Structure 1
Amino acid sequence: MAAYNKEKVLILTPVSRFYNEYWQNLLRLTYPRELVELGFIVPRSKDGDLALKKLEKAIKQVQTGKKENRFSKITILRQDTESLQEQSEKSRHALKVQKERRANMALARNSLLFSALGPYTSWVLWLDSDIVETPPTLVQDLVSHDKPVVSANCYQRYYNEEKKEQDIRPYDYNNWVESEQGLKMAEEMADDEIIVEGYAEMATYRVLMAHFYDSNGDQNTLMELDGVGGAAVMVKADVHRDGAMFPPFPFYHLIETEGFAKMAKRLGYQVFGLPNYLVYHYNE
């Protein structure tokens, strides 16, 4: 329906590393290319320089190729803020660096959004650079729910040593429903403190969408959320135009994508997740 109505979709990706699998998956998306704009923001770091080179090469191949395969517009920005140097999965996810790391991510997302959002954009798809597998109909599927904010469920493929076979496991725990414990923790915190989901030392007992995946369930099942991750989230452009952005500061003790969900809700928009609709994160 969105394609029929010629609704323009802006796909935004902060890139600290370039994964060829991400790019190939992006090229497999079936939403009409003439209605798709892309936006990337790359940190000023050694990894960032390398990612930029690979990204520019990949873009050049597509944008100088057949006209029907070209994207309508592509924006690449360099990140002004200092990037965290250590980018291994373990160091990126250490609790002590979360506030700084996610504040930087929030600033990068906002720069990208404010630079790339056009007057005719209908939808903004936030797609992380390490999402390497989605249904080819990702855009149509998420847009079809016609919700202000809707998030896919992010999993990861891995080799299960016990079963001796390929398996899947939950990856992104930032899609959640608030709990009494979470609210109580927030009440007792200093103004500049944040709650970060998925850490044993900060047990919120929130309901996590990651745990609600049912392999036999309906892909279109929706659950209302209070927090979202950034893996694959479709946002009506007007939600962003209305002022919902990614707070780089504690906003009701939340930051970045989870702070964005809180901000959207404070503005009166509902936030949803699709527990049975999976996208897959790169496995390092």
Structure 2
Amino acid sequence: MAKERRRGAGSCAIEISLRGSANAPRFPTSPCQGRERSLTKARRFGGRGNGETRPTAKAEPATDGGNTVRERRAPSQTSAPNLRRSGTRLTLISASSTYSRQSPNVLASLASEIWEDALITSQDTGNPSILILTPVKDAASHIETYLKGLERLSYARELLSLGMLESDSTDGTFAHLRSLQARLEKRFNRVTLCKRDFGFKMPATVARWADAYQLQRRAVLARSRNHLLMRALDDESWVLWLDVDVIDYPADLVETLLSAERDVVHAHCVQQYGGPTFDLNAWRDKGKLHMSDLRGANAPVRLDTVGGTVLLVRADRHRDGLIFPPFPYGVHNLRIRDSHPVWGRGEIETEGFGIMASDMGIQCWGLPDYEVLHHE
């Protein structure tokens, strides 16, 4: 659907929304969709497709009622200045207001060209945009290690964005993040830093996993994740949830998670490589099996719930309504545990996310043989 949007005197913009139309062409939403691909055992959990030759098109005039609008030509990289693309929204910017005076048929013609350019561009690159999201609290001591890990990532800068939400810190975490914004903007296409306090503080002498505070703590963490998601997500294709105290992972983390080709995929978080699972929120069979119990598959394995330490989610699943419940969720779902020792039936936060995903018909997956290291 095309619509005209004014951009001040003497110029206009035509915006094409790729959502909401049943007949609209769809961008590939995974690195391999819409192209031939060869899988080799040399790549973990799958590979990306071979390159394809860009199709060519004969030049032909676009007309409206006998009036030539402009020559249509095969899409090319040289036309990029006229086409601004961000995920699933395209904007064609004109140097003058000429198009604003043309009939709807002219706009439709231009829209058709943009569809064609965008689809070919997406198939050529095969690399989707990623939004990394990290909620933080009292994390000043982890920020430097966290940033060094992000700066080691091999994924292209122009395809990576970052969102961070700080809440209820007493160690100056937010001020520290603001002081590093220029550094962050050198590494990422877009940076969102926001603050939202929930008024939740635990006694300094109490461990964060203490039963007395577990339900309230995880409810606040779920709310923090949801607030961050709503404020930071733009048109990215994928969301990578990454905890600030995950201290080591391969530079090709993003590529490896994408190569699993699953809508929800969780890396195996440990405190020692080859050691027991740290993120026990990822499980199946009513909590009887965790990631360390599933090693040796060398492929994605089915999970009933996930953790949030390193979690890749197709962004459209979030847009469809998949969030982190800040309350015990899924009491009628057969996958939940019989009873939690603190809050009884239902699952909360990332575990609630997994149960909600199953209610939406979305399978969660884990990579038990792909390990990332968490701070001890």
TM-score range (shorter-chain normalised) is: 0.7 to 0.9
Aligned residue number for residue 187 of structure 2? 70
Aligned residue number for residue 174 of structure 1? 281
CA 1:6/1:277 → structure 2, altered by over 3 Å: closer, same or farther?
A: closer
Q: What is the Cα deviation at residue 113 of structure 1?
A: 0.4
Superposed CA RMSD:
2.0
Aligned pairs for 1:133-152 (under 5 A) are 133-152=248-267
Aligned residue number for residue 265 of structure 1? 358
CA 1:87/1:140 → structure 2, altered by over 3 Å: closer, same or farther?
A: farther
Distance 1:54 1:169 in 2: 33
Aligned partner of residue 257 in structure 1, secondary structure: helix
Return the index of the structure with the highest Cα Rg. 2
Aligned partner of residue 273 in structure 1, secondary structure: strand
Aligned partner of residue 218 in structure 2, secondary structure: helix
**Does 2:278 align with 1:157?**
no
Distance 2:242 2:211 in 1: 23
Aligned pairs for 1:103-122 (under 5 A) are 103-118=219-234, 120-122=235-237
**Does 2:159 align with 1:43?**
no
Aligned residue number for residue 210 of structure 1? 292
Question: Contact 1:247–1:256 (CA<8 Å) still a contact in 2?
Answer: yes
CA 1:37/1:169 → structure 2, altered by over 3 Å: closer, same or farther?
A: same
Q: Deviations along 1:166-218, whole A, 9 cap, x unmatched?
A: x8443111110033xxxxxxxxxxxxxxxxxxxxxxxx5x111133335xx63
**Does 2:99 align with 1:9?**
no
Structure 1 segments unaligned to the other structure (5+ residues): 64-68, 159-166, 180-203
Question: Contact 2:130–2:159 (CA<8 Å) still a contact in 1?
Answer: yes
Q: What is the Cα deviation at residue 80 of structure 1?
A: 3.2
Q: Deviations along 1:135-168, whole A, 9 cap, x unmatched?
A: 111111101112110000000139xxxxxxxx84
Q: What is the Cα deviation at residue 6 of structure 1?
A: 4.0
Distance 1:262 1:87 in 2: 32
Aligned partner of residue 271 in structure 2, secondary structure: strand
Distance 2:174 2:132 in 1: 17
Distance 1:173 1:245 in 2: 19
Provide the identity percentage.
39
Match among 171, 175, 178 for residue 53 of structure 1? 175
Aligned residue number for residue 150 of structure 2? 26
Distance 1:131 1:34 in 2: 23
Structure 2 segments unaligned to the other structure (5+ residues): 1-29, 32-121, 331-345
Distance 2:203 2:256 in 1: 36
Question: Contact 2:166–2:197 (CA<8 Å) still a contact in 1?
Answer: no
Aligned partner of residue 157 in structure 1, secondary structure: coil
Q: Deviations along 1:64-108, whole A, 9 cap, x unmatched?
A: xxxxx43111111112311324467x6111122110000000000
Distance 1:54 1:168 in 2: 33
TM-score by length of 2: 0.60
Distance 1:74 1:86 in 2: 32
Aligned residue number for residue 251 of structure 1? 329
Question: Contact 1:154–1:281 (CA<8 Å) still a contact in 2?
Answer: yes
Q: What is the Cα deviation at residue 281 of structure 1?
A: 0.6
Q: Deviations along 1:35-81, whole A, 9 cap, x unmatched?
A: 1110001013313xx21222223332343xxxxx4311111111231
Q: What is the Cα deviation at residue 127 of structure 1?
A: 0.4
TM-score by length of 1: 0.78
Aligned partner of residue 150 in structure 1, secondary structure: strand
**1:92 aligned partner, one-letter code:** R
Aligned residue number for residue 8 of structure 2? none
Aligned residue number for residue 81 of structure 1? 198
Question: Contact 2:219–2:326 (CA<8 Å) still a contact in 1?
Answer: yes
Structure of greater relative contact order (alpha carbons < 8 Å, 6+ residues apart): 1
Question: Contact 2:184–2:191 (CA<8 Å) still a contact in 1?
Answer: no
CA 1:238/1:62 → structure 2, altered by over 3 Å: closer, same or farther?
A: closer
CA 1:152/1:92 → structure 2, altered by over 3 Å: closer, same or farther?
A: same
CA 1:87/1:143 → structure 2, altered by over 3 Å: closer, same or farther?
A: farther
